[in-house]
């Protein structure tokens, strides 16, 4: 009996007290694997184990594993308190214990992804970061990082950022709503930004703070958001706010696939955008630029046309732009008043197709076109089917050098170089400090369609303000042109040269104001019944030996007239007093009043026996066509002042006192009458 009792007592001593111990409380970081530890629990062999979870986050979201072991695990998907109860039981007895796991702080998502990453809002406090990037977050090919809830805050450490490699994707776009989830990227001291190197980016409704602090190891240029060639910009880049960017807000290289638009963004840097010129058609005018900034940086294609599909236009919406290279424009460009265009030194705009229009009805601010930092640039050239309409524009420091690209070559430097026959309007504009001509018209291949040159100031052009051919001047300058020429000494307001094919002079040549003059570097000839009138105050200066020949004996009334006034005489003179011009030959009906004919006789006029300022070679039947030369001054001839053939009637004779014409300083005499 005693033995039995002894054996029984010994057996009870071997039984262990059933005790559950869930381990010590832990503080962890969201998204890291947490191991629970109930290994100090005690009890006889064979007791059962069961862990249960109690918390706000649903159990299926925490990946709770191995609940029937002493060391289960879970992953807290967001900050908060997670309670777990360990229950052990044996033969009807049980024991339990609770452990508290508190997940606090941001989840570090730095490093190269090995699987797709989905980001959700972890913090209830919107000021606290949900995620942290302590080293570059790299999204490699075939993987994605997607944001799938509003209110996500990502804290990025200094000198780190997000890199989306070729074939990778970073997106906060919600396919259900068609817009991006609200996302905040922030940094205490600045971060590198988002670099897309051949991958895909979809970003909307994001706030990007203090990005562009440093350059990525794999890309030398700093920028808040950068897309390199081969990348894809998916969906509209819209409703994003850049704040305190330390370099260009948005950089896009050529070769990015971007059918979407850049719209309703807030920019912050001195250079908000650096994009291909082609992308300008995608930049909407609802973006908000800083109150003070340098320019939008536009990069044209190299020796290629900038073209668009039908009915699309490039548009400049009153902002400041830097054109970083020769622009070969093959589509329409619409420039709103107040826009400022700055060109890289030694470059310019070549309009090959489409129309370029300055729209001045939007505001009273002028459009400014200049070299960057007032650098000399080449100006604007028109060729092909292009047209140009400049209104209320300041065209400054252009005309420095000729164009020589595979698509176009110009022969002369000019602020505006027109090598086609399409429309040119320059109105209420200022052309200043041209290193060549103001406007140079080559004469084209056939007739001119439309010129509208009005109320423009030409100031300090190195060569003539306007270069025209004989046949085109009547289109370029009208009597009411209203232009102002502020020319340097010895520089003509208008240069007249020969057409490619002979063209007779016609039209009305107005005065150019003050002492401004036409420089005639070709013979002016008229052999048919075409009207040619020189208006009061006009000054015509001819280069050496050049002549004005009017030779049509059946001319109608006023076919040639040069009628000045006492206050505004018409002047015919030599451009160089030491290089006489050829003079005037008249045959047919003409009227010359209050004219000063100076310094001719450089060579013989047709049929004239001697050099002279004016040769009146009236036809035999000229009695039916009276001529007049009154109140004129004829001076400085190398030969005679005037030569008259025998058919000149006394009342037409400039020597007739009734005609009040004076002669002086003519080398061979005042008048020679051919016998």
Query: How confident is the model at residue 78, as a pLDDT?
Result: 81
| Beta-sheet pairing, 314-316 with 484-486 | unpaired
Query: How confident is the model at residue 300, as a pLDDT?
Result: 98
Query: How confident is the model at residue 211, as a pLDDT?
Result: 98
Query: How confident is the model at residue 191, as a pLDDT?
Result: 98
Query: Angle at CA 134, nearest 5°, toward 131 and 140?
Result: 85
- Distance between CA 381 and CA 387 in Å, rounded? 10
296: part of which helix (H) or strand (E)?
strand 296-299
Are 535 and 479 a contacting pair, CB within 8 Å? yes
Is residue 85 assigned to a domain?
yes
Is residue 311 assigned to a domain?
no
Q: Give 187-226 pLDDT, tens digit per residue.
A: 999 999 999 999 999 999 999 999 999 999 999 999 999 9
Q: Give 326-342 pLDDT, tens digit per residue.
A: 999 999 999 999 999 99
Tokens 């400041």 sit on residue? 320
Query: How confident is the model at residue 426, as a pLDDT?
Result: 95
Final residue of a domain: which of 103, 138, 172? 103
Is residue 587 assigned to a domain?
yes
pLDDT at 559 over 90: no
pLDDT at 272 over 70: yes
First to last CA, the chain: 180
| Beta-sheet pairing, 93-103 with 80-90 | antiparallel
Query: How confident is the model at residue 3, as a pLDDT?
Result: 34
Final residue of a domain: which of 65, 86, 103? 103
Average pLDDT over residues 367-387: 96
Best CA proximity match to 354, nearest among 423, 411, 262 = 423
- Distance between CA 578 and CA 208 in Å, rounded? 72
Question: In the structure, what pLDDT confidence band is assigned to residue 647 with cuts at 50, 70 and 90?
Answer: confident
Q: Give 285-300 pLDDT, tens digit per residue.
A: 999 999 999 999 999 9
List Cα–Cα distances, 570 to 208, 214, 349, 632, in angstroms.
Answer: 69, 69, 39, 9
Question: In the structure, what pLDDT confidence band is assigned to residue 4 with cuts at 50, 70 and 90?
Answer: very low
Is residue 134 assigned to a domain?
no
- Distance between CA 79 and CA 58 in Å, rounded? 13
Beta bridge partners of 486: 459
Is residue 348 assigned to a domain?
no
Question: In the structure, what pLDDT confidence band is assigned to residue 587 with cuts at 50, 70 and 90?
Answer: confident
CATH of residue 42 = 2.60.40.10
- Distance between CA 398 and CA 429 in Å, rounded? 14
**Full residue range of the structural domain in which residue 83 is found:** 17-103
Contacts 24+ apart (CB under 8 A), 402-406: 402/378, 403/326, 403/348, 403/350, 403/378, 405/303, 405/326, 405/328, 405/350, 406/303
Average pLDDT over residues 344-371: 87
Is residue 262 assigned to a domain?
no
Question: In the structure, what pLDDT confidence band is assigned to residue 401 with cuts at 50, 70 and 90?
Answer: very high
Q: Give 402-446 pLDDT, tens digit per residue.
A: 999 999 999 999 999 999 888 899 999 999 999 999 999 998 555
Are 392 and 428 a contacting pair, CB within 8 Å? yes
Average pLDDT over residues 172-191: 95
Cα 499 to chain center, whole Å? Answer: 35
Counted domains in the chain: 2
Q: Give 239-268 pLDDT, tens digit per residue.
A: 999 999 999 999 999 999 988 899 999 999
Task: Compute the mean pLDDT over every residue in the chain, rounded to the nearest whole number.
Answer: 92
Query: How confident is the model at residue 13, as a pLDDT?
Result: 44
Q: Give 33-92 pLDDT, tens digit per residue.
A: 999 999 999 998 889 999 999 998 999 999 999 999 999 999 998 888 999 999 999 988
Average pLDDT over residues 97-102: 95
DSSP classification of residue 16: P
Query: How confident is the model at residue 588, as a pLDDT?
Result: 77
pLDDT at 362 over 80: no
Query: Which of 276-280, 392-396, 475-479, 482-486 shows the lowest mean pLDDT across its residues?
Result: 475-479
635: part of which helix (H) or strand (E)?
strand 633-635
Average pLDDT over residues 85-103: 94
| Beta-sheet pairing, 524-526 with 539-542 | unpaired
- Distance between CA 260 and CA 16 in Å, rounded? 72
Query: How confident is the model at residue 625, as a pLDDT?
Result: 60
Q: Give 487-497 pLDDT, tens digit per residue.
A: 999 999 999 99
Q: E strands, 176-284, where?
A: 179-180, 183-186, 193-197, 200-202, 206-209, 223-227, 232-233, 237-238, 241-243, 248-252, 262-263, 273-276
Query: Which of 1-10, 460-469, 582-591, 599-608 shows the lowest mean pLDDT across its residues?
Result: 1-10
- Distance between CA 632 and CA 571 in Å, rounded? 10
- Distance between CA 195 and CA 189 in Å, rounded? 19
List Cα–Cα distances, 171 to 78, 294, 437, in angstroms.
Answer: 20, 30, 53
| For the chain, percent of residues with pLDDT exceeding 70 | 94
pLDDT at 390 over 50: yes
- Distance between CA 284 and CA 282 in Å, rounded? 6
Q: E strands, 476-538, where?
A: 484-486, 494-497, 507-509, 518-520, 524-526, 532-534
4: part of which helix (H) or strand (E)?
helix 2-14
List Cα–Cα distances, 335 to 194, 320, 388, in angstroms.
Answer: 32, 11, 11
Query: How confident is the model at residue 448, as a pLDDT?
Result: 52
Is residue 243 assigned to a domain?
no
Q: Is 354 exposed, middle or buried, given 0-12, 13-18 or 19+ CB atoms closer than 10 A?
A: buried
DSSP classification of residue 372: G
Is residue 596 assigned to a domain?
yes
Average pLDDT over residues 441-468: 86
- Distance between CA 52 and CA 67 in Å, rounded? 7
């Amino acid at each position: 009996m005693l033995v039995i009792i002894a054996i029984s007592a010994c057996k009870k001593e071997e039984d262990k007290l059933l005790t559950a111990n869930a381990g010590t409380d832990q503080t962890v970081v969201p998204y890291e694997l947490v191991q629970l530890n109930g290994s100090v629990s005690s009890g006889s062999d064979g007791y059962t184990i069961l862990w249960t979870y109690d918390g706000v986050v649903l159990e299926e979201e925490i990946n709770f594993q191995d609940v029937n072991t002493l060391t289960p695990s879970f992953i807290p998907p967001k900050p908060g308190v997670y309670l777990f109860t360990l229950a052990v039981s044996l033969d009807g007895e049980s024991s339990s214990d609770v452990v508290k796991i508190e997940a606090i702080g941001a989840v570090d998502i730095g490093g190269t992804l090995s699987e797709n990453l989905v980001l959700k809002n972890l913090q209830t406090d919107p000021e606290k970061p949900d995620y942290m990037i302590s080293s570059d977050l790299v999204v490699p090919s075939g993987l994605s990082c997607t944001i799938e809830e509003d209110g996500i805050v990502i804290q990025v450490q200094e000198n780190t950022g997000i890199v989306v490699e070729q074939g990778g994707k970073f997106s906060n776009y919600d396919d259900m709503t068609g817009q991006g989830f609200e996302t905040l990227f922030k940094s205490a001291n600045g971060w590198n930004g988002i670099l897309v190197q051949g991958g895909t980016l979809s970003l909307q409704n994001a706030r990007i703070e203090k990005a562009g602090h440093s350059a990525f190891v794999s890309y030398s240029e700093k920028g808040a958001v950068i897309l390199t060639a081969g990348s894809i910009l998916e969906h509209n880049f819209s409703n994003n706010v850049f704040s305190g960017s330390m370099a260009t807000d948005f950089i896009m290289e050529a070769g990015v696939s971007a059918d979407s638009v850049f719209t309703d963004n807030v920019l912050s840097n001195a250079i908000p955008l650096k994009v291909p010129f082609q992308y300008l058609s995608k930049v909407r005018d609802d973006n908000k630029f800083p109150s003070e900034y340098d320019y939008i940086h536009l990069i044209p294609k190299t020796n290629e046309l900038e073209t668009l599909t039908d009915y699309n236009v490039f548009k400049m919406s009153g902002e400041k732009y830097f054109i970083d290279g020769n622009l070969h424009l093959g589509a329409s460009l619409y420039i709103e008043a107040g826009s400022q265009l700055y060109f890289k030194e030694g470059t310019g705009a070549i309009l090959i197709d489409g129309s370029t229009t300055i729209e001045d009805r939007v505001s009273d601010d002028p459009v400014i076109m200049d070299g960057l930092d007032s650098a000399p640039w080449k100006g604007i050239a028109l060729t092909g089917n292009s047209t140009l309409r400049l209104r209320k524009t300041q065209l400054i420091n252009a005309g420095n050098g000729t164009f020589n690209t595979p698509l176009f070559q110009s022969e002369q430097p000019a602020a505006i170089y027109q090598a086609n026959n399409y429309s040119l309007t320059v109105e209420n504009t200022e052309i200043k400090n041209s290193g060549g001509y103001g406007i140079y018209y080559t004469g084209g291949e056939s007739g001119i369609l439309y010129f509208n040159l009005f109320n423009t100031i030409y100031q300090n052009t190195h060569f003539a303000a306007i270069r025209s051919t004989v046949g085109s001047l009547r289109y370029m300058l009208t009597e009411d042109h209203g232009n102002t020429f502020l020319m340097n000494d010895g520089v003509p307001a208008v240069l007249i040269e020969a057409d490619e094919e002979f063209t007779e002079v016609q039209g009305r040549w107005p005065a150019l104001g003050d002492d401004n003059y036409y420089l005639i570097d070709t013979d002016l000839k008229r052999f048919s019944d075409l009207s040619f009138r020189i208006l009061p105050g006009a000054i015509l200066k001819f280069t050496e030996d050049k002549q004005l020949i009017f030779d049509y004996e059946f001319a109608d009334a006023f076919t040639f007239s040069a009628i000045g006034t006492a206050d505004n005489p018409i002047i015919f003179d030599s451009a160089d007093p030491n290089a006489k011009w050829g003079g005037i030959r008249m045959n047919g009906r003409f009227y010359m009043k209050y004219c000063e004919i100076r310094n001719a006789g450089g060579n013989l006029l047709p049929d004239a026996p001697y050099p002279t300022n004016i040769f009146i070679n009236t036809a035999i039947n000229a009695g039916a066509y009276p001529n007049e030369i009154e109140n004129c001054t004829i001076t400085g001839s190398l030969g005679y002042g005037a030569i008259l053939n025998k058919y000149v009637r006394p009342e037409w004779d400039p020597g007739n006192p009734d005609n009040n014409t004076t002669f002086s300083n003519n080398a061979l005499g005042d008048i020679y009458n051919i016998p």
